Amino acid sequence: MSDSKWEYKIVDYSNSTSTGYSNPQTEEFKEKHKDKDWKIEMRNIKVNKLGQDGWEMVGMNGNNEIYYKRKI
């Protein structure tokens, strides 16, 4: 049996403010990434940041929620 302890996080990607962007920041981001799907770009930035902080993706609920865990 493993003695590892985990903490868990659910991130809602349904809108930009739920991931920490203000409305003005979102508008700037949309303009900067207008040639791409800005929602996917924004989500990818957040996913990569969480990975750098030690979070591992463990599941998804449709397109809006991603579940993470990391050792504590």
User: pLDDT tens for residues 20-52?
Assistant: 788 898 899 889 988 998 888 888 888 999 999
Please tell me the distance from the alpha carbon of residue 46 to that of residue 28, in angstroms, as a whole number: 16
pLDDT digits (tens, 9 = 90+) for 48-64: 999 999 999 999 988 78
- Mean pLDDT of the residues in the chain: 88
Please state, in angstroms and as integers, the Cα–Cα distance from residue 21 to each residue in 2, 16, 33, 35, 37, following that order: 38, 5, 15, 20, 16
Q: Give the model's pLDDT for residue 1.
A: 65
Instruction: List the chain domain ranges.
Output: 6-71
pTM, to two decimals: 0.77
Q: Which of 59, 63, 49, 70 is nearest to 13 (CA)?
A: 63
Ordered strands of the 6-12 beta sheet: 6-12, 65-71, 56-61
